[in-house]
Structure formats: C-alpha cells, structure tokens
C-alpha cells in the first residue's frame, strides 16, 4: 500500500521510525569511532583509533567478481593474501569499450589495514601524480563488512559481494554508488 493509503498518522509513524533508525545509526557509529558518510559508508571520527585487522582477514574476497555499476560492467579481481598484501584490479567497460582501470592493494599499516589505489585511463595514462595514491584506511569491521574510509566491502554468501562507495561531487554533495558483484567461476566464463 502506498504511503498515501496510510493517512497522515502512517506518514508520521514512518518518519519517526526513520528518524529513530538514523539516531541509532549515528549513535552506534559515533560510539565505535566512525561517522556515517552515506547509508553504507563511514569515515573515522577524529582521534579514533584504527581497528585491528590483518590482510588475511580479507582472504574471503580473493577471486574474480563482475557486476553492473557506473552505467556499465564493473569487474574486480583480487589475489589471495601473499607477501603481506592483497592486490586487485578493477575495470569499467561501457558499450564494449574500457573506460578506466584501477590497480589496488590492501596492506597492513599500524596494526590495521589500508586500501591503496591508482586510476588509469584506457590507454594506461595515470590520473594521480606518479608518487600519489588514493588511500582508504580501515574504519571498522562490523557484521561481516570491512568499512574503509568511504568504501565498504560486504560478502553476500560465498558468491556475491556488495561494494559501497561514497562519491563526492564537485558541488559538495556525497552520494553512494553500489556495486553488486557475482563471483566468476574458475572456468573464466562470465556469470
């Protein structure tokens, strides 16, 4: 039934429920050293310690993942932990053409983790300066999800993965982009 079918009292109760849920979310986030950026992404509160974690804690993410996002087909491939790091590759394909790539690592830092990446155009010219990376320090590990600063990874069973990314607009707004991935079988055939 639509909201209009519930009458004025239904809308009020619905708004109160949403407000209560937001208060719980903000309260929980603030208490654990994180602040909500979007519905599923967080930033570390000023002065909050980094959560303890090891690269091996993310071994579940190793594999080949594909899904629809950013108006095209998104693909990520992650190696198992080895040599103290995981390495990953991302590419976005639209209308049969590669739009851009990312090269990524997840590495230990001060008893916690940081995800580092560099962007590349389809011709492999870089976006960032040679010595620069885009860094996402780990903010929290909760309910099976790994929340990096503005980027969250959540397994959905063995063969599905949700990635939430806080995207900041030039106008100062922040929106969430969700990548819904399916594991590509070892045969290499797309799902």
Convert the pLDDT of each residue in 158-174 to its tens digit.
899 999 999 988 998 99
pLDDT band, residue 188 (cuts 50/70/90) = low
Q: In what helix (H) or strand (E) does residue 171 lie, and over which residues does it extend? A: none
pLDDT > 90 in the chain, percent: 65
Task: Tell me the pLDDT tens digit for each residue of 84-98.
Answer: 999 999 999 999 999
Indicate if the pLDDT at residue 64 is higher than 70: yes
Q: Which of 86, 63, 41 is nearest to 181 (CA)?
A: 63
Please give the pLDDT value at position 53.
96
> Is the pLDDT confidence value at 80 over 60?
yes
At residue 12, the pLDDT reads: 33
The residues near 71 (Cβ < 8 Å, ≥ 6 apart) are: 94
């Amino acid at each position: 039934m639509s909201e209009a079918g519930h009458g004025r009292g239904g809308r009020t109760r619905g708004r109160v429920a949403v407000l209560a849920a937001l208060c719980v979310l903000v309260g929980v986030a603030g208490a654990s050293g994180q602040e909500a950026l979007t519905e599923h992404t967080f930033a570390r509160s000023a002065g909050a310690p980094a959560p303890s974690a090891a690269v091996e804690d993310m071994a579940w993410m190793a594999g080949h993942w594909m899904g629809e996002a950013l108006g095209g087909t998104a693909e990520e491939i992650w190696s198992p932990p080895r040599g103290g790091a995981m390495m990953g590759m991302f590419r976005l394909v639209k209308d049969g053409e590669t739009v851009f790539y990312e090269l990524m690592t997840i590495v230990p830092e001060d008893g916690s983790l940081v995800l580092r990446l560099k962007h590349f155009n389809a011709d492999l010219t870089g976006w960032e300066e040679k010595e620069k990376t885009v860094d996402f320090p780990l903010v929290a590990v909760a309910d099976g999800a790994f929340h990096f600063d503005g980027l969250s990874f959540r397994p959905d069973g063995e063969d599905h993965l949700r990635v939430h990314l806080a995207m900041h607009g030039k106008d100062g707004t922040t929106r969430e982009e969700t990548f819904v991935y399916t594991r590509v079988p070892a045969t290499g055939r797309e799902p």
